[in-house]
Amino acid sequence: MRMPIVVAVAAAAGLVAGVARAQVTKESVPGVTNFARVETTIACAGATTPAAVAELRRMGYASIINLRLPNEEGADVDAEAAAARAAGVNYVSLPFNGASPDPAVVDRFLTAVTEPANQPVFLHCHTGNRAAALWMIKRMVLDGWDANRASTEATALGLTSPALKAFALEYAAAHKR
């Protein structure tokens, strides 16, 4: 009798993981590394060139949230901000250090990502790792997702750092609404 229950639980867990993963669509966008779209409200990605901003606007993104530090190799925060202004895209720079995550930056992220004028949002860092971690937090804190579901989606988006995943889980536990 115990075996059918175990099989049913495993099948349900696989279905939930599949649903979370099915929401992530990987696409190739010139000038954008690791572009991954989640539904119609957000895309997470890695390094993004200022030249890619106009294409992001054509794709319908109303805002860019950039998590890169100004001193990161290859980051051109000022040029990206200027390209966003020229394209009519809201631009939010939230430098987020993955080696020393600051909860205050996450607080500002949650405000920016839920601002109606910013919808839909293009969120990026260097590889997509930090972007996915912050999206994981948003899913748990604001959308009420459990850690497994949010983690599955974040992994599909590019979360690879165990330390950032632990930070996301700790932040979400401390800020449950």
Query: Cα–Cα distances in Å, from 65 out to 5, 51, 57, 96, 132?
Result: 44, 16, 13, 11, 12
d(Cα 109, Cα 103) in Å, to the nearest integer? 10
Q: State pLDDT tens for residues 78-95.
A: 999 999 999 999 999 999
Q: How many CB atoms lie within 10 A of CB 141?
A: 20
d(Cα 106, Cα 133) in Å, to the nearest integer? 10
> Which residues have a Cβ under 8 Å from the Cβ of 10 and sit 6 or more positions away?
none
Residue-level pLDDT at 22: 42
- The hierarchical CATH code for the domain 2-174 is 3.90.190.10
Type of residue at 124: H
Kindly state the average pLDDT of the residues 141-164.
Answer: 96
Query: Which residue ranges make up each domain of the chain?
Result: 2-174
pTM above the 0.75 mark? yes
Q: State pLDDT tens for residues 28-66.
A: 999 999 999 988 789 999 999 999 999 999 999 999 999
